[in-house]
């Protein structure tokens, strides 16, 4: 792969702390074979490297590519007929989702991600029908779609070995249903179940198949505490230690999950993970909305990471995460758009703005609320730390992968922007996807002048539309019926699930800390 010099009016190399970033005016990044060699002034680098292709004409802000640290599917649940509902009921509506071609589905959201500057996605996949060979095929198809567009992907198939319907054993929940409904639902659930050990067969098969692909990393994802038996958690611990890979796990997304953890072991969910030997910098907890103060201390002390899924928490009524308390304790927090953001798409610029704004608690102390630099670091370096690529992405420095996004400065600053507004603040507050001109991954421009360079987006979307224009199959109709039938039983199950006096979420009590 040839060298190139990526030029910007401003190059934001990395965020240094809550208030400062390393920014080079009239800067450039020299990359060779997909790896960054040098970052400096454009005039100096171009003089020393004449003849190297120049990307960008000096009117852009060049940033490290964004990392969407928590992603599941292409077409959004809403598009597929699941309205926003409390998470535990929403799971039931997801049974009705149509079957979508995995390649086209993956491309659909990959287009949205790249268009907003995301170069790396953490894809946590689930719900591919068993047996494991079929899941390997589906995972491979998904990964090949990212390769087709040129994105970097950190992939994990979600491990679930119990409690697939509600926060109790599948047989126990099925026993609550009328016999004919249970008879239909049982096989639907069983069709996704694979033996515990097959999850690791899958993991190793994908690692082997994509061993030589620099833009693909494979890791693990025990899906959530309620979905994993103790035996599964122990196998995850072993596999992480053996292969030196990180893992990503949903945890304490809702108050019901907090109650589940107490019922399961009489102690909180984070303590249970500590007891299982799972906490540490290789562990990322997705959501974490209902962590207690003690949990947050434990997470901070062990260097455990958290992924903040801000829009999702709002849409599924999970709650508001205690981001300001996490930040005060030095927890490294990533950003995940999860199923879809506020605009029902995967726009990292909008999600960053959500994170910046949602936690602006009343008061006058600037240390109590998120800063633009903090949010940018969440979307870059801290997101990177949750993936299989670690510190090789998420910042622009020698030795890092050449993953960059070029945002049009004139567009965000026109017709006027006060000179005292910082570059990071301007980008985080004002940049829109329409201003994302160019995206580079591993030194290759995959999006230029707002066009994908490798793939025909219009043709792919037309193919997707044509496939979904057909009527629902009898199987899809049946799933829809079953999903509707289960909903009242899910409501019943959770009606008295919470303790008599449920704890307030920590963000409420921590506003002044």
Identity of the residue, 96 or 223, whose beta carbon is nearer to Zn ion in the bound complex: 223
Cβ neighbors of 456 (< 8 A, separation 6 or more) are none
Identity of the residue, 126 or 390, whose beta carbon is nearer to Zn ion in the bound complex: 126
Binding piece for Zn ion, criterion CB under 5 A, among 193-201, 234-242, 333-341, 462-470: 333-341
Identity of the residue, 126 or 186, whose beta carbon is nearer to Zn ion in the bound complex: 126
Binding piece for Zn ion, criterion CB under 5 A, among 12-20, 183-191, 335-343, 457-465: 335-343
Cβ neighbors of 312 (< 8 A, separation 6 or more) are 287, 318, 336, 337, 338, 339, 340
How many residues line the site for Zn ion (CB under 5 A)? Answer: 1
Identity of the residue, 337 or 356, whose beta carbon is nearer to Zn ion in the bound complex: 337
Q: How far is the CB of 351 from Zn ion (least distance, A)?
A: 14
Q: How far is the CB of 260 from Zn ion (least distance, A)?
A: 16
Identity of the residue, 338 or 347, whose beta carbon is nearer to Zn ion in the bound complex: 338
Q: What angle do CA 350, 356, 361 make, to 5 degrees?
A: 140
Binding piece for Zn ion, criterion CB under 5 A, among 147-155, 334-342, 392-400, 406-414: 334-342
Q: How far is the CB of 25 from Zn ion (least distance, A)?
A: 39
* H runs (alpha helix) in 227-358: 230-243, 255-265, 269-275, 293-302, 310-315, 323-328, 348-358
30-89 positions binding Zn ion, by CB under 5 A: none
Q: How far is the CB of 286 from Zn ion (least distance, A)?
A: 6
Identity of the residue, 91 or 452, whose beta carbon is nearer to Zn ion in the bound complex: 91
Name the strand (E) or helix (H) holding 64.
strand 60-64
Binding piece for Zn ion, criterion CB under 5 A, among 179-187, 332-340, 427-435, 439-447: 332-340
The answer to whether 70 touches 336, Cβ cutoff 8 Å, is: yes
DSSP classification of residue 290:
T
Binding piece for Zn ion, criterion CB under 5 A, among 94-102, 294-302, 323-331, 337-345: 337-345
Cβ neighbors of 66 (< 8 A, separation 6 or more) are 116, 117, 118, 119, 120, 348, 379, 380, 383, 405
* End-to-end Cα spacing for the chain: 51
DSSP classification of residue 224:
B
Binding piece for Zn ion, criterion CB under 5 A, among 31-39, 114-122, 215-223, 338-346: 338-346
Q: How far is the CB of 451 from Zn ion (least distance, A)?
A: 31
Instruction: List Cα–Cα distances, 493 to 96, 127, 467, 502, in angstroms.
Output: 20, 23, 37, 17
Q: How far is the CB of 485 from Zn ion (least distance, A)?
A: 25
304-323 positions binding Zn ion, by CB under 5 A: none
Instruction: List Cα–Cα distances, 450 to 246, 433, 445, 446, in angstroms.
Output: 33, 9, 11, 10
Can you tell me the distance from the alpha carbon of 344 to that of 61, in angstroms, rounded to the nearest whole number?
27
Binding piece for Zn ion, criterion CB under 5 A, among 80-88, 185-193, 336-344, 347-355: 336-344
Can you tell me the distance from the alpha carbon of 455 to that of 444, in angstroms, rounded to the nearest whole number?
14
Identity of the residue, 199 or 371, whose beta carbon is nearer to Zn ion in the bound complex: 199
Q: How far is the CB of 348 from Zn ion (least distance, A)?
A: 16
Burial label for 83, CB within 10 Å (0-12, 13-18, 19+), is exposed
Tell me the residue nearest to Zn ion as measured from the CB: 338
Identity of the residue, 27 or 77, whose beta carbon is nearer to Zn ion in the bound complex: 77
Q: How far is the CB of 459 from Zn ion (least distance, A)?
A: 30
The answer to whether 450 touches 412, Cβ cutoff 8 Å, is: no
Identity of the residue, 338 or 408, whose beta carbon is nearer to Zn ion in the bound complex: 338
Q: How far is the CB of 124 from Zn ion (least distance, A)?
A: 6
Nearest CA to 99 among 76, 80, 84? 80
Binding site for Zn ion (CB under 5 A): 338
């Amino acid at each position: 792969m040839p060298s190139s010099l990526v030029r910007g009016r401003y190059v934001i190399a990395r965020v240094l702390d809550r208030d400062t970033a390393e920014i080079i005016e009239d800067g450039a990044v020299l990359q060779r074979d997909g790896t960054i060699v040098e970052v400096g002034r454009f005039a100096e680098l171009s003089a020393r490297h004449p003849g190297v292709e120049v990307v960008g004409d000096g009117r852009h802000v060049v940033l490290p590519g964004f990392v969407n640290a928590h992603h599941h599917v292409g077409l959004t649940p809403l598009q597929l007929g699941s309205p926003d509902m409390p998470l535990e009921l929403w799971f039931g509506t997801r049974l009705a989702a149509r079957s979508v071609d995995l390649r086209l589905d993956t491309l659909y959201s990959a287009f949205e991600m790249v268009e907003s500057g995301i170069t790396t996605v953490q894809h946590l996949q689930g719900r591919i029908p068993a047996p494991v060979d079929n899941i390997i095929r589906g995972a491979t198809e998904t990964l090949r779609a990212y390769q087709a567009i040129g994105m970097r992907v950190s992939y994990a198939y979600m491990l679930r070995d119990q409690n697939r319907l509600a926060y109790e054993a599948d047989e126990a929940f099925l026993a609550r249903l009328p016999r004919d409904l249970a008879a239909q639902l049982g096989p639907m659930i069983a069709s996704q179940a694979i033996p515990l050990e097959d999850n690791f067969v899958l993991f190793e098969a994908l690692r082997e198949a994509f061993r030589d692909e620099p833009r693909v990393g494979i890791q693990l994802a025990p899906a959530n505490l309620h979905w994993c038996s103790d035996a599964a958690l122990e196998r995850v611990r072993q596999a992480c230690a053996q292969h030196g890979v990180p893992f990503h796990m949903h945890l304490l997304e809702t108050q019901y999950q907090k109650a589940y953890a107490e019922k399961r072991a009489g102690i909180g969910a984070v303590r249970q993970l500590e007891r299982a030997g799972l906490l540490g910098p290789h562990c990322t907890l997705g959501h974490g909305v209902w962590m207690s103060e003690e949990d947050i201390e434990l997470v901070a002390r062990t260097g455990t990471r958290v992924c903040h899924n801000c829009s999702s928490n709002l849409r599924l009524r999970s709650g508001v995460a205690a981001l300001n308390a996490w930040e005060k304790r030095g927890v490294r927090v990533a950003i995940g758009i999860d199923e879809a953001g506020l605009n029902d798409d995967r726009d990292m610029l909008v999600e960053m703005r959500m994170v910046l704004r949602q936690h602006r608690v009343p008061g006058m102390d600037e240390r109590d609320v998120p800063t633009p630099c903090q949010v940018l670091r969440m979307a870059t370096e801290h997101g990177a730390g949750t993936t299989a690529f670690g510190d090789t992405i998420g910042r622009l420095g020698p030795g890092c992968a050449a993953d960059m996004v070029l945002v049009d400065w004139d567009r965000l600053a026109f017709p006027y922007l006060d000179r005292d507004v910082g570059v990071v603040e301007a980008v985080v507050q004002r940049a829109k996807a329409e201003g994302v001109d160019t995206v580079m991954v591993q030194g290759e421009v995959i999006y230029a002048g707002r066009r994908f360079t490798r793939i025909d987006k219009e043709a792919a979307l037309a193919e997707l539309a044509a496939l979904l224009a057909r009527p629902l199959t009898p199987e899809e109709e049946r799933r829809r019926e079953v999903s509707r039938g289960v909903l009242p039983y899910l409501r019943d199950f959770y009606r008295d699930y919470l303790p008599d006096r449920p704890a307030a979420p920590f963000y409420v009590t921590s506003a002044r800390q």
